A and B are shown apart, each in its own frame.
Chain A
Amino acid sequence: MTAAGGLAALAGSHGVVVCCGSGGVGKTTTAAAIAVEGARRGRRACVVTIDPAKRLADALGLAELTNEPSRVEGDWPEPGELWALMLDTKSTFDGLVTRYAGSPEQARAILENRLYRNIAGALSGTQEYMAMEKLYELHADGRFDLVVVDTPPTRNALDFLDAPRRLTRFLDNRVFRLLMMPTRAYMRAVSVATQAFLRTISRVVGGEVVADAVAFFQAFEGMEEGFRVRARRMEELLADPDTAFVLVASPRRDAVGEALFFADKLRESSINVDALVVNRLHPRFGGEGGQLREGAEAVRARAESLAGTPLAPFYANLADFRQVAEREETHFAELAARVAPAPVARVPFLAGDVHDLDGLTAVGRWLFA
């Protein structure tokens, strides 16, 4: 299997593709290009994006956050389709609450709680969790052969793996659960220490905050199990062989460092990297199969030996790019070795941002050549 064939095969065969990597490395574009490739292969593909640049969002018909995929017109072979969705964390969470609530009253009590609104809007990990939730939902609903998800740029790019577990842990919170117990048990269970502890919290952040939290956990009562089951199913989906992980990186040293870290973490979670995409590689100019085989140093020396002639700047410029390319190659090789035998795709520095289907197809030529 050639490297490029590997990534194309992935768009053609897997049910779920998760694109991960640090911020600013071209994850969103890569995810969209993989979905386009799926559609080109006659699959019904949907891409879930987190925070696309505005013009790409416009090109995909994503004028605003939606909770439902919208169809992107294109010349796909039957029965190929392309759909896209820009994740709306809050309404995805609301949908989940409504689904698991025992009654409309319970759902309303939760949705109106101030703590809940903060969880849905600001709790770290919620966006990751909801990206996974949306992925799970779209995968399960049977309308799509391929769901590609872009992961949020976070401090720790692995947050999305832990997110379901972290949220269930949050919802399980023991201190607050003690307060939810019926009155008499409450008297026994809430020890003096716990009361002191809650008083402390009240003193620092105000009693309202504690009251909101208690009200939230009371309203949430009985729903934790549903969330736990859901979280377990998401973990199963991530571990399923039908789910592929694509690690996206750029060849800068810091980005490569993060990608290496990421690859190790995935392995610790028993997840293989199924493909590696390295974006924004500088070209080497004439180095591939051409006659100009010397390294940057030799080219630099040539520039110096020609100093004063009009040819010198041309060699100096070539030496500059050779030097960058060699450095990037070292980083690239290290990363490729770490994820071996995963296929790798190289995408060169492109002239501008990708804003339309033609641009995505152009990226695809490098990804799936």
Chain B
Amino acid sequence: MDAAGFCTQTRVLIVAGKGGVGKTTVTAAVARMAAHAGLDTLIVEVEGKSGLGAAFGRDDPLTYDEVELAPAIRARTLTPDDALLEYLEDHGMKRVSKRLLSSGAIDVVATAVPGIKDILVLGKVKQLERAGTADLILVDAPAAGHAVTFLTSAAGLLDAVRVGPIRAQAQDVMDLLSDPARCQVLLVTMPEETPVNEVAETAFKLEDRVGIALAPVVVNGLYPPCPGLDEVSVAAAAEAADVALLPGEAEALASAAAFRRDRMALQAEQVARLASALPLAQLRLPFLFTTELGLHEVDTLAAALASGIEAL
């Protein structure tokens, strides 16, 4: 499969993963990959807080109004409160919506119907999907356990609310989430013990409870190979290169080499554990030693992602 094919499998791609695994970076990389393949992307950020702008070299936070982060890449926030207000306004309740918010009554309603806000966010995503607002809509899902709640709330609400427009909305959301031609989830993890356990757990929950299609799992932060560290000792290498090392230098070189070898072995072990725990193809992304995350690095990751997809 090529990058364009991957990005057009479904119009909605939800990126999910625990905090610290690089979910936002992966979101940015997918958007760039899509842009390079000639597709335009809308990134929807649902927590109102994200480093997404920084990945594109922008300091200002994202807003409810779309901004262009790069050619063919737009982004906006869509927080639960945004979605709720918009829903009320769309349903002829513009006049009371402010009061619902300021009186706190909305908190009571949202608590009485848990998941209502998540459904409204996803309902809005569905609306954007139906309107064909972009070739690809990337949803930067909430972190960690929140992602499961976020994606399972529609199923839960269908059980709890019997009638009315909210039920219809939940049904629409379920239709979107469970249709592998319209929507899939891209899970992101790191080659470490806890993230591997959690991503497997999340994957099974999503499959069982929502029947949502899972894209290959992204394993982020793998040390790239550094050939030549294993064959010889530092001392032998120095002798062969005819270099006299300073005191302490051999130890520093050797311990850095050992550190990399050990970490790479640990990572390989976790990648294998992930493969046996979760029967999904893996897209592996390198750890970037060289620089801070910026557009250049996002492009490096986008290229790695694209070649991983081609090898699928």
With known contacts A118-B112, A121-B114, A209-B112, A327–B161 Cβ distance under 8 A: no
Q: Are A206 and B162 in contact (CB under 8 A)?
A: yes
The answer to whether A24 touches B21, judged by C-beta atoms less than 8 angstroms apart, is yes
B57 within 8 A of A: no
CB of B1 closer than 8 Å to a CB of A: no
Q: Are B144 and A285 in contact (CB under 8 A)?
A: no
Residues of A near B312 (CB, < 8 A) are none
Instruction: Determine which of B20, B166, B241 lies in contact with A24 in the assembled complex, contact meaning CB atoms within 8 Å.
Output: B20
Residue of B nearest to A312 (CB): B228
Interface-lining segment among B65-73, B92-100, B209-217, B298-306? B92-100
**What would be 16 A-B contacts, judged by CB atoms less than 8 Å apart?**
A22-B19, A23-B144, A24-B20, A123-B114, A153-B19, A175-B105, A200-B93, A204-B93, A205-B166, A253-B292, A253-B293, A286-B249, A292-B252, A309-B237, A323-B289, A352-B266
Nearest first, the 10 closest Cβ-Cβ pairs linking A and B are: A286-B252, A24-B20, A23-B19, A313-B228, A309-B241, A310-B237, A320-B289, A24-B19, A122-B114, A291-B248
- The answer to the question of B281 belonging to the interface, with a C-beta cut-off of 8 Å to chain A, is no
- Indicate if the CB atoms of A174 and B103 lie closer than 8 Å: yes
User: CA–CA, A176 to B100, complex, Å?
Assistant: 12
Please measure, in the bound complex, the distance between the C-alpha atom of A152 and the C-alpha atom of B113, giving whole angstroms.
Answer: 23
Which of the candidate stretches B8-16, B31-39, B172-180, B256-264 sits at the interface with the other chain?
Answer: B256-264
For residue A25, CB closer than 8 A to chain B, the reply is yes
A206 lies within 8 A of B20 (CB): no
Mark A63-101 against chain B: 1 for CB-CB distance below 8 A, else 0. 000000000000000000000000000000000000000
**Is B295 engaged at the interface, CB distance under 8 Å to the other chain?**
no
- Decide: B105 and A313 in contact? CB cutoff 8 A: no
* A250–B221 CA distance with the chains assembled, in angstroms: 15
Q: Are B18 and A23 in contact (CB under 8 A)?
A: yes
B residues apposed to A, CB below 8 Å? 18-21, 24, 47-49, 51, 54, 91, 93, 96, 99-100, 103-105, 107-109, 111-116, 142-146, 149, 161-166, 192-195, 197, 226-229, 231-232, 234, 236-238, 240-241, 243, 246-249, 251-257, 259-260, 262-263, 266, 289-293
Interface of A is mostly: helix
With the chains together, A201 CA to B93 CA distance in Å? 10
Asked if B104 and A170 make an inter-chain contact with CB atoms under 8 angstroms apart, the answer reads yes
Any B CB within 8 A of the CB of A188: no
Q: Is the Cβ of B248 less than 8 Å from the Cβ of A292?
A: yes
Name the A residues within 8 Å of B252 (CB-CB): 285-287, 290, 292, 318
Q: How far is the CA of A153 from the CA of B144 in the complex (A)?
A: 9
Nearest chain B CB to A363 CB, angstrom units:
15
> Which of B48, B103, B113, B263 is packed against the most chain A CB atoms within 10 Å?
B113
Q: Which residues from 272 to 328 on chain A have a C-beta closer than 8 Å to any C-beta of chain B? A: 283, 285-287, 290-292, 306, 309-318, 320-321, 323-324, 327
Known: A122-B114, A320-B289, A327-B292. A204 touches B266 (CB 8 A): no
Least Cβ–Cβ distance between A328 and chain B, in angstroms: 11
Selected contact of A311 from candidates B104, B112, B162, B243, CB within 8 Å: B243
**Given contacts A310-B240, A314-B229, A118 and B114 within 8 Å (CB-CB):** yes
What is A's interface to B at a CB cutoff of 8 Å?
Answer: 22-25, 51, 53-54, 114-115, 118-119, 121-123, 153, 155-156, 169-170, 172-176, 196-197, 200-201, 203-206, 208-210, 212-213, 250, 252-255, 257, 283, 285-287, 290-292, 306, 309-318, 320-321, 323-324, 327, 349, 351-353
Asked whether A23 lies within 8 Å of B143 as measured between CB atoms, the reply is yes
| B241 lies within 8 A of A311 (CB) | yes
Cβ–Cβ contact B47 & A291, under 8 A: no
Query: Cβ of A209: which chain B residues have Cβ within 8 Å of it?
Result: 109, 112-113, 161
| In the bound complex, CA of A23 to CA of B241 (Å) | 46
A121-B114, A197-B105 as given contacts; A315 in contact with B19, CB under 8 Å: no
Determine the chain A residues whose CB is within 8 A of the CB of B263 once the complex forms.
349
* Contact status B240-A320, CB under 8 Å: no
User: Which of A173, A210, A283, A323 interacts with B290 by CB under 8 Å?
Assistant: A323
List B contacts of A318 (CB < 8 A): 252-253, 256
Q: Are B47 and A292 in contact (CB under 8 A)?
A: no
Looking at the assembled complex, report how far the CB atom of B88 sits from the nearest CB atom of chain A, in whole angstroms: 8
Q: Which residues of A contact B266 (CB under 8 A)?
A: 351-352
Task: Tell me the complex Cα distance, A312–B257, Å.
Answer: 12
CA of A54 to CA of B198, assembled, Å: 10
Task: Report which of A286, A324, A353 forms a contact with B193, defined as CB distance below 8 A.
Answer: A353
Instruction: List chain A residues, Cβ under 8 A from B162.
Output: 206, 208
Choose one: B197, B246, B291; the contact of A53 (CB below 8 Å). Answer: B197
| Contact across chains for B161 and A53 when beta carbons are under 8 A apart | no
List of A residues within 8 angstroms of B227 by Cβ: 313
A285→B256 contact, CB < 8 A: yes
Contacts of B238 in A (CB 8 A): 311
Instruction: Please name all residues of chain B whose beta carbon is closer than 8 Å to the beta carbon of A205 when the two chains form the complex.
Output: 109, 112-113, 116, 161, 164, 166
